[in-house]
Structures are given as C-alpha cells and as structure tokens.
C-alpha cells in the first residue's frame, strides 16, 4: 500500500517569534511537513528551518532570491508569509501556489506611510490567494488598503497556551502590578510611571514590576528616581515567554498602557487572562476585541495618565473585584 505524502508548507517568518513557532508546531501536530525560512534568528531542534543571515538594511530585497531558492528546494504545496512587508516580498518571488499572507499589524498600519509602500503592500495582498488577519481591526485596515480582498481574508487571532487552572492571587497587601512590553514610547511605560505618581498617594505601598528592555530603559529608570518611585518600582529585565505565566501570577493586575493603533491585537491581555489576572489597558487597536471592559478588566483612554491611575486604584483597592475580573478573563 502506498504511503500518503505529507502536505508541505513553507513558512516565511522570523523563527524567533513565538507566534511563528506556534503556527509551525500547530501545523506539524496536524500532520503537515513544515519548513520555516527566516531572516536571522536561531535554528531550533523542534522546527525544520533555514536561517538566512542579515546583511544590511535591505536584506529582505538582497536575499529574496536565496529565500525563493530555499522554498523551491523544499517543494511545498503552500507558501505562507508572516507579515505583508518584508516576508511578503519573499512570497512574491515564490512560484508556488497557493500563497497565503498573514498581516500582523505594523505591516498594514505603519508601513504604508507613503505611496510607494502602499503600492507594495497592495501588490502583496493582491498576489495572495488568501489572507489572514489577527484581529477584526486588521481585517478592516487591510480591506481599506485594497477593498477587493474582502472575499479572501479571514480573521485568525493569535493564540496563547491556556492554563486549565491557575495560582490564586497573592495576598492583597501590597497590591502588585506588572508591565510586560518592550520599553518603547508606543507601549506607554512613561505614561504608566506618570500614573504611578497619582496611585501612590492613595496606595503608598503598591508595587510595580516592569519587565522587558528597550530604548527607553535608561530614561524610565531616571524617571522612576526623579518621580520618587524607587520604593514602588522594580525593573526585572527581559523575561522569556516560557516564564511569562509564572511572572504574571506573582501579581494582581497587568497594565498595558499602549498608545498606538498598531497594538493590533493584545496577546498580553490573553496571557494575563489565562493566568486569572485582571487587566488595565488602553482602548487602542485590537485590544477591545480581547478585553471585555468592566468584566475582564478596565479600558482607559490612551495617553491619559489620570484615567489610568483611577483604573489601577479601583482594582487595587477592591481585591474581590480584581479577583472576579481575573476569573472572568480565564
């Protein structure tokens, strides 16, 4: 009896991305043969991959031929590009059909900031046989860029590992907050510190753990000292995704004060919710699709440190409400 050949899918995406890894593993678990072709990153033992080294600012263009050759050698039945920008260019160089592109956020929100970039993204979307978007927001943005793709776009949200059960919240005193994002203006860590100056007036012993690193780290440390928050704020550095759940469960509330619409989904909200923790987040981008305001957390206007402080105080001074919202989120 002849053995049925596995369907092969070539994924064009950054191998270090936990989302690309989940796509690859999920398809492998469903019986597909997968190969990830990545610009930079580190090879993994559990995922077949080809790592193409970076070499300058236009590597996506200069290495497109090499990427297409990797795809051709793999002889896939489907090519799937994760991001319509750089990896979308690689998809255009591939002869394999059908071709799928997943829009992630910045590729359709920030990148099309001039006529040339808009024309390129439209070309990628037009050339795809199907498109996936991580949120309704991104579906709408993509359709606005190229209305005729409406009949070939599907919303497939990013997933997270769901905990069947979670640790109970720590003792309510002192209340503990956490922030888990890159230290970049678009994620609002500076606004969070400004809000903390108001919060400590009501809750002097409240604690904030700031995870992550980035271009603002030094500035944030200086702000913490200048605002007399050294006793309330600690910087814990980068936390590997595999340890995120343990970190979140050491706290009562996760705070996500993003200011940009390119916060296209809000994976961190779901990670906090599966840990049974309430969330305070800005009403931006796709975040309202995963945070039920007043039920699993509180949505606040972006860049408004006063409203952010009010929401934090509301949850931090009402342990039962905080616990119930976390339970609802799970």
Q: What's the number of domains the chain is made of?
A: 2
Residues 100 and 210 in one domain: no
The confidence score (pLDDT) of residue 57 equals 76
What number of CA atoms fall less than 13 Å from residue 87's CA on the CB side? 29
CA 290, 269, 259, 14 dihedral sign is negative
Long-range contacts of 97-102 (CB under 8 A, 24+ apart): 97/129, 98/129, 98/130, 99/127, 99/128, 99/129, 100/128, 100/129, 100/130, 100/131, 100/132, 101/125, 101/128, 101/131, 101/132, 102/131, 102/132, 102/133, 102/134, 102/156
Q: Are strands 253-256 and 49-52 parallel, antiparallel or unpaired?
A: unpaired
Residues 232 and 201 in one domain: yes
Residue 163 lies in a domain: no
Averaged confidence pLDDT in the chain: 94
Which of 158-172, 202-216, 286-300 has the least mean pLDDT?
Answer: 158-172
Residue 167 lies in a domain: no
Residues 202 and 301 in one domain: yes
Residues 16 and 64 in one domain: yes
Categorize the per-residue pLDDT at 262 as very low, low, confident or very high, splitting at 50, 70 and 90.
low
Residues 131 and 67 in one domain: yes
Residue 256 lies in a domain: yes
Residues 203 and 255 in one domain: yes
The confidence score (pLDDT) of residue 264 equals 80
Residue 95 lies in a domain: yes
Residue 169 lies in a domain: no
Residues 41 and 74 in one domain: yes
Residue 101 lies in a domain: yes
pTM as predicted: 0.86
The confidence score (pLDDT) of residue 4 equals 65
Residue 165 lies in a domain: no
Residue 129 phi/psi, 5-degree rounding, is -80, -25
Which residue, of 108, 123, 155, is where some domain finishes?
155
Domain of 226, CATH number, reads: 3.40.50.2000
Supply the Cα-derived Rg of the chain in whole angstroms.
22
Nearest one of 245, 108, 236 to 183, comparing CA atoms? 236
Q: How far is Cα 75 from Cα 63, in angstroms, rounded to an integer?
A: 19
Residue 310: give the domain boundaries.
176-329
Which residue, of 100, 122, 155, is where some domain finishes?
155
Residues 207 and 102 in one domain: no
User: Per residue, what are the HEC states of 149-218?
Assistant: HHHHEEECCCCCCCCCCCCCCCCCCCCEEEEECCCCHHHCHHHHHHHHHHHHHHCCCCEEEEECCCCCHH
Strand partners, 253: 177, 278
Model confidence over 44-71: pLDDT tens digits?
Answer: 999 999 999 988 778 999 999 999 999 9
């Amino acid at each position: 009896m002849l053995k049925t050949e596995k369907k092969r899918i070539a994924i064009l995406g950054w191998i270090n991305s936990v989302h690309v890894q989940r796509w690859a593993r999920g398809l492998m678990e469903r019986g597909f043969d997968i190969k990830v072709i990545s610009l930079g990153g580190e090879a993994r033992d559990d995922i077949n991959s080809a790592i193409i080294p970076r070499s300058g600012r236009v590597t996506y263009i200069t290495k497109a031929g090499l990427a297409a050759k990797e795809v051709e050698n793999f002889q896939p039945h489907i090519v799937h590009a994760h991001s319509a920008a750089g990896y979308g260019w690689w998809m255009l160089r591939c002869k394999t059909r059908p071709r799928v592109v997943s829009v992630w956020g910045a590729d359709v929100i920030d990148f099309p900031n001039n006529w040339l970039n808009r024309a390129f993204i439209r070309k990628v979307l037009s050339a795809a046989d199907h498109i996936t978007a991580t949120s309704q927001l991104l579906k709408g943005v993509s359709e606005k860029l190229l209305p005729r793709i409406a009949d070939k776009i599907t919303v497939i949200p990013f997933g997270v590992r769901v905990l069947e059960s979670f640790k109970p919240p720590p003792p309510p005193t002192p209340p503990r907050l956490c922030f888990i994002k890159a230290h970049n203006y678009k994620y609002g860590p500076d606004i969070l510190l400004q809000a903390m100056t108001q919060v400590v007036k009501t809750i002097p012993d409240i604690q904030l753990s700031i995870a992550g690193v980035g271009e603002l780290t030094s500035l944030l440390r200086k702000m913490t000292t200048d605002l007399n928050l050294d006793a309330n704020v600690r910087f814990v550095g980068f936390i590997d995704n595999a340890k995120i759940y343990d970190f979140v469960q050491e706290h009562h509330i996760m705070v996500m004060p993003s200011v940009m619409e390119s916060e296209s989904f809000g994976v961190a909200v779901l990670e906090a919710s599966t840990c049974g923790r309430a969330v305070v987040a800005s009403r931006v981008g796709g975040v309202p699709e995963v945070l039920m305001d007043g039920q699993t957390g509180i949505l606040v206007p972006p860049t408004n440190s006063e409203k952010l402080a009010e929401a934090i105080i509301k949850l931090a001074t009402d342990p039962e409400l905080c616990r119930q919202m976390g339970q609802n989120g799970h």
